[in-house]
Structure 1
Amino acid sequence: MSNIEFKDLTFGYGENLIFDHAQINIDDRWKLGLVGRNGRGKSTLLKLLEGKIITDSSIITDKNFVYFPQLLTEEDLNDEKISSESRNQETLKGDFVESLSVNITDRKSQLTFYLLNELTEFEQWELERELSLLKVDLEVLWRPFESLSGGEQTKCLLAILFLDETNFPLIDEPTNHLDMASRKVVAQYLNKKSGFIVVSHDRNFLDEVCDHTLAIERQQVILYQGNYSTYEQEKKLRDDFELAEDERLRKDISRLKRTSLEKRDWSNQRENVAGATFVDKKVAKKQNQRAKAIEKRMGQEVENKEKLLKNIEKTDPLGMNFQPSHHRRLIQFEKFSLAFDKKILFQPIDFSLKVGEIAAIVGPNGQGKSSIIKYFSGNFSGERNGFVQLPQGIKISFVRQIYDNRGYLKDFATENQLDYELFLSNLRKLGMERKQFTQKIETMSQGQQKKVELARSLSQEAELYLWDEPLNYLDVFNHEQIVQLLENSQPTMLLVEHDQAFVEKVSNQIINLKDT
């Protein structure tokens, strides 16, 4: 056993401190969940451990750290035989965006087995053992890495992460793009391992995987023994105590203020009354001094009150430009399915979506969920079977899984005919800092770009919403904001999402796509 210790960790960007004299001590055997709102410093903490960010504060450890996902770029996979369409897959655009020095010179070197072997050394049987635990068909090893689904790529990279026993794993958002079944498989896999730090916004996943939780809050870093639910329960107790104490102090301040004013008014009256005796004036002077003492105490109470609520995460309700349609039914599917090269993606489905209903499409990765959303946006290049009906001229708003928003927010809002005030308001409520409003969208982080995509959809006039994995890159507080918004606004929506708890909370019906 050894520890990973931060002593008096102080670090920030410019004048904004992320960590202020934080003390963190981590046992290297723990399955540690790292949680906190976007922008609180989770990625910064991982980069400090990796040595990508240098600080004057002491980091005491004998560990070497390895980051997940071990990163592949388009250059690493670039080859004249790889189509531009393949290079634009979501996984290459999203998760695997940094560097690995691999020269792709022939078809053999593109194969998954050889690419993974460049990342770490292993025996073939060892890799096959790990992939079997992750329920991956071993045939993927002999296919080009770029041809694998996002879930298959994630599992392959997880497998080699734990084959490298010399390094301590830092696992960042392993559930992005994984379907519900794959999330459970990955959770079971991690349960059999020990000694890692994992960042995720999927609370069910963290509950299944973690035995300790490190929470980066607004003003402090707190370690909890237990999973995410333990953290959530204990934080609620602390928040409830702070709110109760805040209410008590508010009442005390109000009472003191009233008493101070009464004593000051009485003393002023006694001092200024005609014919007041020396004794009366002396008593009045004492009352005035008492009033000042009360005001001083009141100032101390106000100072105490300001120290409260420092770690309560406040979120404001989002707004939605939903325009209820006069049509009773917005989508009607009858024996509907999609196909690529005459290969049917899923068994035909029959269902209708009425005004005010939210239908969630679920199913394994690669089953065709996103293809349904692409079909309605006009970006599906395959074939349609069966019947689908949509009222002509209906206003539709999309949240896309892959997006290429660019430019400054003001110009972006004009180009997309957005309610600009609502757009900026939603971005602020989602947790984007005002200073980021002057950035170009393409320079923002993945989480910030996702907020732009979501705020764009919310700010458009729409009768129907088609959302494809809206929760990716958003924190659990954003998840709750979206749940509350959908419960309050009751829009008409077709939704693709892998977060089971979210789907169960917001949907009126679930369409389960099945293999043919």
Structure 2
Amino acid sequence: MSILSTERLGHSYHDRWLFRNLHFGLQRGDRIALVGPNGAGKSSLLRALAGELDPVEGTVVRERGVRIGFLSQDPAFDEYATVNDFIYHADNEQQRLVRAYEKLIADPEADVRRITELTEQLSALNAWEYEHHIKSILTRLQIADFSQRVANLSGGQRKRLALAKLLIDEPDIYILDEPTNHLDIETIEWLEKLLTGGQKTVLLVTHDRYFLDTVCTQIRELDRGKINNYAGNYSYYLERRAEAEEAAGMQLERNRNLLRRELEWMRRQPQARGTKSKARIDAFYDLEEKTKGQQSNQTIQLSVNVSRQGGKILELDRISKSYNGRHLIGNFSYVFKKGDRIGLAGRNGTGKSTFLNLITGNEQPDSGAITVGATTVFGYYRQGGLALQGNERVIDVVKGVAEYIKMANGESLSASQLLTQFLFPPEKQFGLVGKLSGGERKRLQLMRVLMQNPNVLILDEPANDLDIDTLNVLEAFLLNYSGVLILVSHDRYLLDRLTDQLFIFDGAGAVSIYNGNYAAYKSEQAEVEREVKAIEAPKIAESFPTPSKKIKLSYKERLEFQALDQEIMHLEQRIQEQTEILNNITDHTELADIATELTKLNQELDAKSERWIELSEYN
């Protein structure tokens, strides 16, 4: 029984039908990925299913009482002033009490009796655990300043805030449009575990192939307005789709051959009078219509010239860079070599984009020297995208770089021919940029970068908003790219396939070099963590012994239990004080230090709270 389904759903955009007569069903426990090329209507379908978009025709049917959580590509927060306003809804009793309690604790003149009343209410509703759940999610998604105005948040912060609220609310259906955008790899791995636990019902669009393979058990392909269903993960879908395309190609060729023969017969045939001739003529027109509807799948052809590269490419000599006292890069040196394929790794905000701006000359180091070779040509694909006017024509954007572009085989293509290779047909070329989808705009940006024939190609989060088919073509191109490649991406699949060396940023100035790809690095890190846990386990067991089955606490445990009350209260007060300080400073170094201390305090609070619960069972 479907808890969410459609009946003859149809929607158009700019006088073009995205889909019509669409039937789609979602059952409890389904974890489905929606795939398809940019502009196919994936985001529009998600919005219609979530109730955010009224379709042109057809209906969406939802099971009574079902709660839908929707994460859009560009979340809106119009009615909320601060992060607190958005996170803590008045219609959720637990959230309302938690917020009221935090306000009282922050007030030095708060009524003690009111605090006691709220404490009892929170305990009765088990809201302490719920508050911990909220704070854990917010911390994971790097949201620390709850008083910050939503209007002042960056695009990435807004996306993470919307995701946090959805995860806190725990809806019956999770509908997620590119949930991994603006998340670092560690957070993506955490999100994978969260979505695959507890029989959640998930429908998502994502370009992240590892995430897709881990989370989803079914694939729905939206192609030319129709839905094709595939059981299994993305790898299985690729196999089945390749078989289907091969069969469709053979059928198309058979139909075309038959159409040619029938066309010759039609030219020789006088006006039909007999039943047999009329039937054959009708069959001809049916075949002609069917053949028009069958088209070979188009793919982007990435093949550009690489500028000649001299002996000196790029040299970094003990460079350093700080912002507002926060040390991001300290005394780092490296000499780039021909064929280098380097991935930049590290959590958000640790200095990766700053590093790219330094080597491309968009920013200057505080100390040290950067030497660029005379023949070095940078191609820089920025995470922020193109700054274009919506009323600008697509072809004019390309002609602004060059009228003709030299390809790898020596041929020169016109701007229009190159756009066609990048799947921009004439009607799109002379259309307005404002009518392009997010993925199409990113594809146009990628094309402009490659037109410069770079021999040092820098890609900052190229996977965001590109469809998987385009990413597959990009990957194939980059595997054969002869220049230097520098890649920043939260797409672990791309990092593993395209890089063989990592620069790892810790956010405190250290940049370490690792020889190997991301999978090898994570494997080594996991091994180190296992060794550390093996060493720490006896110490933890000694500090917090596991109680044997008993009726009451020992004298020593009663003293420990009484002391824990004071220790937990002190930790909560300390966390509150540090949070207030965090909300009132702008120095990046202090922010990092306080954030680190808050993490340690929360971990200590968790451990002592667990011990308190354990001892309270026998008190």
Q: CA deviation at 1:413?
A: 3.7
Q: Secondary structure of 1:171's match?
A: strand
Question: Aligned in 2, Cα 1:297/1:321: closer, same or farther, shift over 3 Å?
Answer: same
Q: Which consecutive unaligned segments of at least 5 residues does structure 1 have?
A: 70-94, 104-109, 265-288
Q: Secondary structure of 1:315's match?
A: coil
Q: CA separation in 1, counterparts of 2:399 and 2:247?
A: 46
- Aligned with 2:166 (options 161, 172, 192): 161
Q: Which residue of 2 aligns with 1:398?
A: 380
Q: CA separation in 2, counterparts of 1:30 and 1:187?
A: 15
Question: Aligned in 2, Cα 1:432/1:221: closer, same or farther, shift over 3 Å?
Answer: same
Q: CA deviation at 1:209?
A: 0.9
Q: Which residue of 2 aligns with 1:68?
A: 71
Q: CA separation in 2, counterparts of 1:119 and 1:447?
A: 37
Q: Which residue of 2 aligns with 1:378?
A: 361
Q: CA deviation at 1:222?
A: 1.7
- Asked if 1:226 is matched to 2:242, the reply is no
Q: CA separation in 2, counterparts of 1:196 and 1:392?
A: 52
Q: CA deviation at 1:457?
A: 0.7
Q: CA deviation at 1:53?
A: 2.1
* Alignment TM-score, normalising by the size of structure 2: 0.63
Q: CA deviation at 1:161?
A: 0.7
> Is the 1:33–1:214 Cα contact (8 Å) retained in structure 2?
yes
- Asked if 1:33 is matched to 2:16, the reply is no
Question: Aligned in 2, Cα 1:120/1:415: closer, same or farther, shift over 3 Å?
Answer: farther
Q: CA separation in 1, counterparts of 2:290 and 2:399?
A: 43
Q: Secondary structure of 1:467's match?
A: strand
Q: CA separation in 1, counterparts of 2:146 and 2:449?
A: 41
Q: CA deviation at 1:117?
A: 2.1
Question: Aligned in 2, Cα 1:347/1:154: closer, same or farther, shift over 3 Å?
Answer: farther
Q: CA separation in 1, counterparts of 2:139 and 2:14?
A: 46
Q: Which residue of 2 aligns with 1:364?
A: 347
Q: Which amino acid aligns with 2:233?
A: N
Question: Aligned in 2, Cα 1:245/1:128: closer, same or farther, shift over 3 Å?
Answer: same
> Is the 1:37–1:477 Cα contact (8 Å) retained in structure 2?
yes
Question: Aligned in 2, Cα 1:410/1:240: closer, same or farther, shift over 3 Å?
Answer: closer
> Is the 2:301–2:422 Cα contact (8 Å) retained in structure 1?
no
Question: Aligned in 2, Cα 1:334/1:198: closer, same or farther, shift over 3 Å?
Answer: same
Structure 1 stretch displaced more, 37-46 or 446-455: 446-455
Q: CA separation in 2, counterparts of 1:303 and 1:353?
A: 57
Q: Secondary structure of 1:495's match?
A: strand
Q: CA separation in 2, counterparts of 1:232 and 1:478?
A: 14
Q: CA deviation at 1:473?
A: 0.7
Q: Which residue of 2 aligns with 1:504?
A: 496
Question: Aligned in 2, Cα 1:348/1:307: closer, same or farther, shift over 3 Å?
Answer: farther
Q: Which residue of 1 aligns with 2:56?
A: 55
Q: Which residue of 2 aligns with 1:101?
A: 79
* Alignment TM-score, normalising by the size of structure 1: 0.74
- Asked if 1:113 is matched to 2:91, the reply is no
Question: Aligned in 2, Cα 1:150/1:400: closer, same or farther, shift over 3 Å?
Answer: same
Q: CA deviation at 1:231?
A: 2.0
Q: Which residue of 2 aligns with 1:84?
A: none
Q: Secondary structure of 1:345's match?
A: strand
Q: CA deviation at 1:389?
A: 2.4
Q: Which residue of 1 aligns with 2:445?
A: 453
> Is the 1:132–1:138 Cα contact (8 Å) retained in structure 2?
no
Q: CA deviation at 1:432?
A: 3.8
Q: CA deviation at 1:450?
A: 1.5
Q: Which residue of 2 aligns with 1:285?
A: none
Question: Aligned in 2, Cα 1:297/1:8: closer, same or farther, shift over 3 Å?
Answer: closer
- Asked if 1:318 is matched to 2:302, the reply is yes
Q: Which amino acid aligns with 1:370?
A: S
Q: Which amino acid aligns with 1:400?
A: R
Q: Secondary structure of 2:388's match?
A: coil
Q: Which residue of 1 aligns with 2:370?
A: 388
- Asked if 1:188 is matched to 2:193, the reply is yes
- Aligned with 1:170 (options 175, 191, 201): 175
1:396-443 Cα shifts (integer Å, max 9, x gaps): 221111145224245434544564755544444444454333344356
Q: CA deviation at 1:140?
A: 1.3
Question: Aligned in 2, Cα 1:348/1:216: closer, same or farther, shift over 3 Å?
Answer: farther
Q: CA separation in 1, counterparts of 2:41 and 2:34?
A: 10
Q: CA separation in 2, counterparts of 1:30 and 1:355?
A: 47
Q: CA deviation at 1:476?
A: 0.7
- Asked if 1:237 is matched to 2:243, the reply is yes
Q: Which residue of 2 aligns with 1:140?
A: 144
Q: Secondary structure of 1:182's match?
A: helix
1:188-227 alignment, distance < 5 Å? 188-193=193-198, 194-227=200-233
Q: CA separation in 1, counterparts of 2:500 and 2:74?
A: 35
Structure 1 stretch displaced more, 179-188 or 295-304: 295-304
1:228-249 Cα shifts (integer Å, max 9, x gaps): 2232222122223223444566
Q: CA deviation at 1:511?
A: 2.6
1:428-507 alignment, distance < 5 Å? 428-441=420-433, 444-507=436-499
Question: Aligned in 2, Cα 1:213/1:411: closer, same or farther, shift over 3 Å?
Answer: closer
Structure 1 stretch displaced more, 385-394 or 475-484: 385-394
Q: Secondary structure of 1:354's match?
A: coil
Question: Aligned in 2, Cα 1:205/1:165: closer, same or farther, shift over 3 Å?
Answer: closer
Q: CA separation in 1, counterparts of 2:372 and 2:291?
A: 54
> Is the 1:419–1:460 Cα contact (8 Å) retained in structure 2?
no
Q: Which amino acid aligns with 1:317?
A: Q
1:6-45 alignment, distance < 5 Å? 6-13=6-13, 16-45=16-45
1:313-366 Cα shifts (integer Å, max 9, x gaps): 3203123242122x1241223444432234322565444333344322222221
Q: Which amino acid aligns with 1:100?
A: D
> Is the 1:347–1:513 Cα contact (8 Å) retained in structure 2?
no
Q: CA separation in 1, counterparts of 2:254 and 2:174?
A: 46
Q: Which amino acid aligns with 2:162?
A: L
1:272-307 Cα shifts (integer Å, max 9, x gaps): xxxxxxxxxxxxxxxxx9xx99x9799599659828
Q: Secondary structure of 1:324's match?
A: coil
Question: Aligned in 2, Cα 1:131/1:481: closer, same or farther, shift over 3 Å?
Answer: farther
Question: Aligned in 2, Cα 1:225/1:116: closer, same or farther, shift over 3 Å?
Answer: same
- Which 4+ residue blocks in structure 1 deviate beyond 6 angstroms? 145-152, 250-254, 295-298
> Is the 2:382–2:461 Cα contact (8 Å) retained in structure 1?
yes
Q: CA separation in 1, counterparts of 2:70 and 2:378?
A: 39
> Is the 2:8–2:23 Cα contact (8 Å) retained in structure 1?
yes
Q: CA deviation at 1:454?
A: 1.2
Q: CA separation in 2, counterparts of 1:419 and 1:185?
A: 46
Structure 1 stretch displaced more, 205-214 or 115-124: 115-124
Q: CA separation in 2, counterparts of 1:499 and 1:220?
A: 28
> Is the 1:423–1:458 Cα contact (8 Å) retained in structure 2?
no
Q: CA deviation at 1:18?
A: 2.1
- Asked if 1:354 is matched to 2:360, the reply is no
Q: Secondary structure of 1:344's match?
A: strand
Question: Aligned in 2, Cα 1:401/1:458: closer, same or farther, shift over 3 Å?
Answer: same
Q: How many residue pairs were aligned?
A: 455
Q: What do you get for the CA RMSD once the two structures are aligned?
A: 4.0
Q: CA deviation at 1:479?
A: 0.6
Question: Aligned in 2, Cα 1:482/1:167: closer, same or farther, shift over 3 Å?
Answer: same
Q: CA separation in 2, counterparts of 1:58 and 1:137?
A: 35
Q: Which amino acid aligns with 1:101?
A: E
- Asked if 1:513 is matched to 2:485, the reply is no
> Is the 1:346–1:514 Cα contact (8 Å) retained in structure 2?
no
